[in-house]
Structure 1
Amino acid sequence: MAKELVESRRTRYTRQAMSDALIDLLRERPLSGITVKALCERADVNRSTFYAHYDSIEELLRDIEDDAMAWVTGALDRITARPDPTDIEDDILRICQYIAGNRNHLQVLMSQKAGIDFPERLLGLIYSRRAVTDRMGAGRADPAEASRRTHFVVSGSIGLIRHWMDTDLQDSPEAVAHTICTMTMPATMTMPGTAHLPTTPIAAD
């Protein structure tokens, strides 16, 4: 866990600079090949500054992952709080927009460049939310069918998001959200207002 420091604008800036530097380095080499010296040079901070915040490169990476997981947790909480299980389009779109806005970090976290820990943590988080997975299998009287549908939707959605990032987000968040929503909703349900979502590509960072 990152060291507890009094939060300030300078502290946030320094941590962001080190996070960005680590992500940049992970695009070039595996985690095992990244040294504190290389990170500090890329982030333009000294070693004492790094160690004031973190004990290791791995701890910094976990802090980056934890920030993303915290946001996803909040998004799942909003989904489970909705009284109508079919009314999740806005939440899925918000997730896709978050991915687009944080593409540089998430492209690395979801790839093999940072190892496989983050995708596994993400899947574990989703499957641990029974209220979310129950909604994915809603409308299925057969528990086995509901379970198969849930695994298909979760794995398929994660796979689609990884493909989206691998293709440098050529599709819009709206288009990806629409595909996920139509996959997620039970076949007996329809989603109003999603037939004409825009599909124009978003601009690159």
Structure 2
Amino acid sequence: MARELVESRRTQYTRRALRDALIELLADKPLARITVRELCERADVNRSTFYAHYPDLDSLLRDIEEDTIDWVNGTLQQLLERPDPDSVGRVIEHVCRYIADNRSHLRVLMSPQADLRFQQQLLGLIYGRIDLATQLQGTDPQEAEMRMHFAVSGSIGLLQHWLASEPTAPPETVARIITTMALPAR
């Protein structure tokens, strides 16, 4: 039992080191220009250790992205189970706090050079779960679709700007801007 726990901690440490190293490298150059050797040197692990956990760098990046999506999904589920008239704003604020708390990783994942599909999936998940369509009820369907596209694209742009800015605005301010820009006045 103790050996399993040690291996589990060791595995967790190794995966964290690989993830952190990849994020650091992605801050300087695209994934296609990063080598496994370079990643292993940065993470201070052997190549065989890398391959014991991941078949390639794309898999490591997908693992990082999936963890982010899983967190957002779980958090949205918890927040949306509680009835609250301001739930949309609270959900977006909570996600903005997560982004602020994980700034170093998400600065890279949300950067203009990163995978736009991940960014769209992340924001699409958020807006899909808070059912933006219901918020736009009574709106022309074409207008609702355009507002949804604007909400996702505009939020990505705002988050990219926020993550690249120093000093940064508080998460509550960013959430309020996203909420007021995405939703029609009530």
Q: TM-score, normalised by structure 1?
A: 0.77
Partner of 1:133: 132
Q: Is 1:43 aligned to residue 33 of structure 2?
A: no
Q: What whole-Å deviation, never above 9, does each CA across 1:8-42 have from its counterpart, x for those lacking one?
A: 22211110110000011111222111111111100
Q: Can you give the 5+ residue segments of structure 2 that lack an aligned partner in the other structure?
A: 1-5
2:117 — aligned with what?
A: 117
- Asked if 1 retains the 8 angstrom alpha-carbon contact of 2:54 and 2:60, the reply is yes
Give the aligned residue type for 1:157. S
Kindly provide the CA deviation profile for residues 68-89 of structure 1, in whole angstroms up to 9, marking residues without a partner as x.
1111222333454354453333
Checking the alignment, whether the CA contact within 8 Å between 1:126 and 1:133 is kept in structure 2 is no
Offset at residue 144 of structure 1 (A):
2.6
Contact 1:79 1:132 (8 Å CA) reproduced: no
Aligned mates of 2:48, 2:60 — CA distance in 1: 15
Q: Is the 8 A contact 2:80 2:87 kept in 1?
A: no
- Larger helix percent: 2
Deviation readout 1:44-68 (Å, 9 max, x if unpaired): 0111111111111111011011111
**Counterpart of 2:163?**
165
What is residue 64 of structure 1 aligned with on the other side? 64
Distance between the aligned counterparts of 1:187 and 1:171, measured in 2?
23
User: Contact 1:82–1:88 at 8 Å: present in 2 too?
Assistant: no
Q: Distance in 1 between matches of 2:166 and 2:120?
A: 22
Q: Which runs of 5+ in 1 are unaligned?
A: 1-5, 189-205
Residues 125 and 27 (structure 1), Cα distance of their counterparts in 2 relative to 1, 3 Å cut: same
Deviation for aligned residue 1:168: 4.2
- RMSD of aligned Cα (Å): 2.4
1:81, 1:186 → 2: CA distance?
A: 24
1:1-205 alignment runs, 5 A limit = 8-78=8-78, 80-84=80-84, 86-126=86-126, 129=128, 132-138=131-137, 140-168=138-166, 170-188=168-186
Percent of aligned positions that are identical? 55
